[in-house]
Amino acid sequence: MIDLAALRQDPDAVKKSQAARGESVELVDQVVVADVARRAALGEFESLRANQKAIGAQVAKAQGDEKQALLAETKTLSDQVKAAESALRDIDANLDSLVLALSNVVDPAAPVGGEDDFVVIKEVGTKRDFAAEGFAVRDHVEIGELLGAIDIERGAKVSGSRFYYLTGPGAMLELALVQLAMNTAQKNGFIPMIPPALVKPAAMEGTGFLGQAAENVYHLESDDLYLVGTAEVPLAAYHMDEILEGVLPRRYAAFSPCFRREAGSHGKDTRGIFRVHWFDKVEMFSFCPVDEAVAEHERLLGFEEEFLQALEIPYRVIDVATGDLGSSAARKFDCEAWVPSQDRYREVTSTSNCTTFQSRRLKIRARGAEGVEPIATLNGTLCAVTRTIVALFENHQEADGSVRIPKALQPYLGGASHFKIK
């Protein structure tokens, strides 16, 4: 939810942001109108109610005829108060639904445009020249089969398309990646967390996933619970309705399964485990003072880069354009790993600065020097397991189909230097 007071002050800034996202500009005007109406209705209700309470206090003291007279007076007042209250409630609900429909105000530094208008910030690492090395690139599906690490066929048999089993070395690799990620995060000041993957509507709503992203969320109707698409949801909602005390930023890193319906991506990335309905992920999350959020965003990006560098995977960083931001994000950086079989960079991690958008919805604030203050939330992927496996297998493959294990990961895999073909 955006800051209504700020919108009141400068509606044009919000309009500009909506335009940059390619979303409704006139929604801003509707909010302004609804806001004026609300304040009028609020004043009406409040003065009637104040009157009612004042007379009520007299009723309590009065006796006999005097009391009867007051009762008669306040009886009609009571009806007026009720009418004013219900009018206020309707206007309030209307305003709320309009404000909730507004996406976060984009960071002016974010490149304006659609999906393809991102800006490449940097490229890191060296892509291998497989032709020069003298062998044809295998994709992660082939490698996964050779190693006995990924079983897609049986994933489909048991659960349908976009499901998989990690088997043998694949299963151990996931655990190794997760441990490396969690250990790294803890060293960097994150509190390790294992959060619930099923959440109530309030948590989903509060993090902004029931808006335009709703069609990609699994919903368990009989229990009215949602399967989270990212640990961002239970981590953000962890402090829902709280005023944070003490030192900020407060950083958490969670290991959790992620479930995504992938509606609207039919036919996209159908091969392998690049785009699946379920995967596991280590996610970073930060509750941060508003004026430190931009620096914190850079920090999260830095942690993501360090992880990719530890895995020796070539990647680039892009500054995602306004039209491609999630509704909660003011700015987003993606790390895209080089995928040799596709001869292009593909997203493996993503970090967003949600400024105060989520914390307003979730009613999270912090006690600062000047009292209770709003707070910024930021999230970033440390390791999305399946996509990391794709990048790892493909970039570190050897001529015979075996895969070199990067040094940083070896301690978590019994010191082995390679995944060998079975």
Least separation in angstroms between residue 197's CB and RNA is 13
Toward RNA, which CB reaches closer, 372 or 399? 372
66 is catalytic: no
Residues 45 and 47: their CA atoms lie apart, in Å, by 6
Q: Which two tokens stand for residue 62?
A: 């009065």
387 is catalytic: yes
Phi, psi of 345 (to 5 degrees): -85, 140
Toward RNA, which CB reaches closer, 95 or 405? 95
3-class SS of residue 318: strand
Catalytic residue among 250, 251, 361, 387: 387
3-class SS of residue 279: strand
- Encode burial over 83-109: b for 16+ CB neighbours within 10 A, e otherwise: ebeeebeebeebbeebbeebbbbbbee
- What residues line the site for RNA (CB under 7 A)? 5, 39, 42-43, 45-47, 49-50, 52-54, 56-57, 59-60, 71, 74-75, 77-78, 81, 89, 243, 365, 371-372
Catalytic residue among 275, 316, 346, 404: 275
Q: Bin 22: left if φ > 0, else alpha if -120 < ψ < 50, else beta.
A: left
Catalytic residue among 350, 359, 360, 361: 350
Least separation in angstroms between residue 334's CB and RNA is 34
Count of positions (residues) in the chain: 422
26 is catalytic: no
Toward RNA, which CB reaches closer, 19 or 87? 87
Least separation in angstroms between residue 260's CB and RNA is 24
**Amino acid, res. 27:** L
Phi, psi of 179 (to 5 degrees): -65, -45
Q: Bin 194: left if φ > 0, else alpha if -120 < ψ < 50, else beta.
A: beta
Catalytic residue among 123, 347, 373, 398: 347
Phi, psi of 243 (to 5 degrees): -110, 115
Residues 147 and 169: their CA atoms lie apart, in Å, by 7
**Amino acid, res. 43:** G
360 is catalytic: no
78 is catalytic: no
**284 neighbors 303 (Cβ within 8 angstroms):** yes
Catalytic residue among 21, 138, 250, 260: 260
Toward RNA, which CB reaches closer, 69 or 243? 243
Least separation in angstroms between residue 194's CB and RNA is 13
Toward RNA, which CB reaches closer, 138 or 360? 360
Least separation in angstroms between residue 82's CB and RNA is 7
Active-site residue list? 260, 275, 347, 350, 387
